[in-house]
């Protein structure tokens, strides 16, 4: 592929037709499932890499007791379920709130209320249609409203969230309200810019709010790699050891000029997913094969970094020094970590996080412990929770007390065989047990 074998790509209705040589492949639309099917067909026809999402998975029986919290939409405006759920206990009311990702839905960030963590009602949307922050990109297949959290800070409730700016780059915003369900008043500009997502607020005992966030470099290096492969076809042989992965790299290189010109960031991920998986299967080995310009352009972005920094008392700006607190360095995490949550227990700080690709059974939840909220954090030797035959892709944890006052972990997961961007994600929970500087699920 590449050169005279470069694909012909043309729009057909809401989808695409991609012609490779004498073969034509029709994508009925440009969503994640269509690209996964395209790559699965190419794997069968051309011996490229079959995406993990389309491979048969031998899922183990559940090892943790996961209680269902929300397994269906409570209203027609909740389009994709409850990804990245944040659960907040409101003790003076004896109730809980839950806020979740809404992607490109017209009504952003559903806020639900429950008095028992079993029966839920839709209380509001943080940003109803027509009331988005002025800096946020809107529109179906364009907007991405991700990973909101609500916390009590002083006498107010703070909402932190990720969204795309008008130029398509990811940023973190903050909005405030006197009530947990809003209405929320967003700041006029992002709190933090530069390809950042998954904000988490942790309020210290003295009231100081700490902001944790992820630099989304796992969305940067695949595009750089595809561009370099397109410019230098011989690079594929140096970077990938198998013919399957070299063919996958050649396909990505051939598609890249069209993707760069016509595809939004998430669609670029869909199209490059097999290339990402080829590099991430053994990230350390791939990193070791990077030399010269490839190492300069890609090496620094292969590690997903999570930072933390104090916020001003009014939430208007970050203050003090930024601290690197976590990055992907475990084989199970592959090319990324994300969705962190910090909670204090037994005099220590525990950080829960997600690792690997959210749309595959390899996604899971890890944990780390520190003697200070800013680390250094020591990771558990193995994931705290992985996929099972019952629920797949558990991730983006939050922590709140249950009705008995004991801490519970809340998370999202897919039903088996139904993983992907904008696929429905349910909310589940499990009891947390802290003992001897470690944590496990009860």
List domains and CATH numbers for the chain.
3-57+219-301 (no CATH), 67-216+304-441 (2.115.10.20)
Mean pLDDT computed over every residue of the chain = 96
pLDDT digits (tens, 9 = 90+) for 140-177: 999 999 999 999 999 999 999 999 999 999 999 999 99
Q: Which class for 321: exposed (0-12), middle (13-18), buried (19 or more C-beta within 10 A)?
A: exposed
Per-residue pLDDT in tens (0 to 9) along the chain, 442 residues? 544 467 999 999 999 999 999 999 999 999 999 999 999 999 999 999 999 999 998 999 998 999 999 999 999 999 999 999 999 999 999 999 999 999 999 999 999 999 999 999 999 999 999 999 999 999 999 999 999 999 999 999 999 999 999 999 999 999 999 999 999 999 999 999 999 999 999 999 999 999 999 999 999 999 999 999 999 999 999 999 999 999 999 999 999 999 999 999 999 999 999 999 999 999 999 999 999 999 999 999 999 999 999 999 999 999 999 999 999 999 999 999 999 999 999 999 999 999 999 999 999 999 999 999 999 999 999 999 999 999 999 999 999 999 999 999 999 999 999 999 999 999 999 999 999 999 999 9
Quote the tokens at residue 285: 């080995």
DSSP labels, 282-348: THHHHHHH--HHHHHHHGGGSS-EEEEEEB-TTSSSB-S--EEEEE--SGGGTT-EEEEEEEEETTE
For 272, which DSSP code?
Answer: H
pLDDT of residue 294: 94
Read off φ and ψ for residue 279, nearest 5 degrees: -75, -35
Would the CA dihedral through 249, 143, 426, 150 be positive or negative?
A: positive
DSSP labels, 16-46: EEEEETTEEEEESSSSHHHHHHHHHHHHHHH
Whether the full predicted model's pTM is greater than 0.85, yes or no, is: yes
């Amino acid at each position: 592929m590449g050169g005279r074998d470069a694909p012909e790509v043309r729009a057909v209705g809401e989808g695409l037709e991609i012609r490779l040589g004498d073969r034509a492949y029709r994508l009925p639309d440009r969503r994640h499932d269509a690209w996964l099917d395209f790559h699965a067909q190419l794997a069968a026809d051309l011996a490229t890499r079959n995406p993990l999402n389309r491979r048969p998975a031998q899922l183990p029986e559940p090892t943790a007791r996961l209680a269902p919290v929300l397994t269906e939409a409570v209203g027609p405006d909740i389009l994709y379920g409850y990804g990245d759920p944040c659960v907040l206990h409101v003790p003076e009311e004896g109730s809980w709130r839950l806020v979740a990702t809404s992607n490109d839905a017209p009504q952003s960030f559903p806020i639900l209320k429950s008095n028992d963590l079993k029966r839920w009602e839709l209380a509001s949307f943080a940003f109803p249609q027509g009331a988005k922050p002025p800096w946020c990109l809107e529109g179906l297949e364009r907007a991405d409203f991700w990973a909101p959290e609500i916390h009590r800070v002083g006498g107010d409730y703070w909402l932190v969230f990720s969204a795309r700016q008008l130029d398509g780059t990811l940023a973190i915003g903050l909005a405030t309200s006197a009530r947990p369900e809003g209405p929320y008043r967003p700041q006029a500009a992002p709190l933090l810019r530069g390809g950042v997502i998954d904000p988490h607020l942790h309020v210290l005992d003295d009231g100081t709010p700490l902001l944790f966030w992820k630099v989304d470099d796992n969305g940067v290096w695949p595009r750089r790699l595809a561009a370099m492969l397109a410019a230098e076809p011989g690079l594929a042989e140096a970077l990938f050891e198998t013919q399957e992965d070299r063919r996958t790299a050649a396909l990505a290189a051939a598609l890249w000029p069209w993707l760069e010109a016509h595809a939004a960031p998430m669609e670029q991920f869909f199209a490059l997913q097999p290339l990402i998986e080829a590099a991430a299967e053994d990230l350390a080995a791939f990193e070791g094969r990077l030399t010269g310009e490839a190492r300069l352009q890609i090496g620094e972005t292969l590690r997903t970094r999570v930072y933390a920094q104090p916020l001003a008392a009014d939430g208007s700006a970050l203050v003090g020094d930024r601290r690197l607190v976590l990055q992907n360095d475990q084989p199970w995490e592959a090319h990324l970590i994300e969705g962190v949550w910090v909670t204090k227990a037994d005099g220590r700080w525990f950080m829960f996080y997600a690792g690997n690709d959210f749309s595959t059974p390899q996604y899971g939840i890890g944990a780390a412990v520190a003697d200070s909220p800013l680390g250094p954090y020591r990771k558990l030797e193995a994931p705290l929770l992985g996929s099972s035959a019952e629920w797949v892709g558990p991730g983006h944890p939050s922590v709140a007390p249950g009705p008995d006052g004991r801490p519970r972990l809340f998370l999202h997961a897919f039903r088996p065989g139904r993983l992907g961007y904008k696929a429905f994600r349910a909310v589940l929970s499990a009891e947390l047990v802290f003992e001897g500087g470690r944590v496990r699920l009860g």
